[in-house]
């Protein structure tokens, strides 16, 4: 079980997260996480800290257009904090946030090659669809996840 403390994100969290996210993912991924998410969606996003250090984060959105839906845009967990339940804890806290905003469904997406993410989402109760051809433009197939709350 994780010993991390979770708190709401704030705009100032962007720089420390941007500094580590490529290393945590093992490839360049920062372009998928622009600062605007921390400027505009921090109240529904989370940061996890252990012993005063960043150990994970979740960027989540309650949809302003689909009033029954919420969306998990990006999740990162430090390699040192993996396998202790932190990702599950971040998701469960976001589910609480989504319910607090009267959302009934949470969605997410991932690349078809991210088998660890697909397996994790299945364990978390998400329905898995895809790969959906051209989901993110021509030639950009993605896996789509959806979970009722």
pLDDT tens-place string over residues 11-46:
999 999 999 999 998 899 999 999 999 999 999 999
Please tell me the predicted confidence (pLDDT) of residue 9.
Answer: 98
Quick check: 79 pLDDT over 70?
A: yes
Name the band, by pLDDT with cuts 50, 70 and 90, for residue 83. Answer: confident
* pTM (global) more than 0.85: yes
The verdict on whether omega for the bond into residue 51 sits within 30 degrees of 0, i.e. cis, is: no
pLDDT of residue 1: 59
DSSP letter at 4 equals: P
- C-alpha–C-alpha distance, residues 82 and 98, integer Å: 24
Residue 125, classed as helix, strand or coil, is: coil
Residue 66 has pLDDT above 90, yes or no: yes
List all residues 6 or more positions away from 79 whose beta carbon is below 8 Å from its beta carbon.
24
CA quadruple 9, 37, 115, 16: dihedral, nearest 10 = -50
Cβ-proximal residues to 127 (8 Å cutoff; 6+ apart), any chain: 145, 146, 147
CB contact at 8 A, 148 and 104: yes
Q: pLDDT-derived band of residue 3, with 50, 70 and 90 as boundaries?
A: confident
CA angle 6, 123, 75 (to 5 degrees): 40
91-148: pLDDT as tens digits = 999 999 999 999 999 999 999 999 999 999 999 999 999 999 999 999 999 999 999 9
């Amino acid at each position: 079980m994780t010993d991390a403390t979770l708190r709401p994100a704030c705009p100032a969290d962007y720089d420390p997260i941007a500094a580590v996210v490529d290393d945590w993912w093992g490839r360049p991924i920062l372009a998928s996480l622009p600062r605007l998410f921390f400027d505009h969606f921090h109240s529904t996003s989370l940061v996890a800290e252990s012993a005063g250090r960043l150990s994970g984060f979740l960027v989540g959105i309650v949809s302003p257009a689909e009033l029954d839906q919420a969306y998990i845009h990006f999740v990162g967990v430090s390699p040192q904090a993996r396998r202790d339940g932190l990702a599950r804890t971040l998701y469960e806290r976001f589910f609480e946030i989504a319910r607090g905003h009267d959302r009934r469904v949470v969605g997410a997406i991932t690349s078809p090659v991210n088998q660890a993410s697909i397996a994790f989402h299945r364990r978390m109760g998400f329905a898995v669809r895809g790969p959906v051809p051209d989901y993110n433009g021509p030639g950009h197939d993605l896996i789509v996840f959806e979970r009722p709350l």
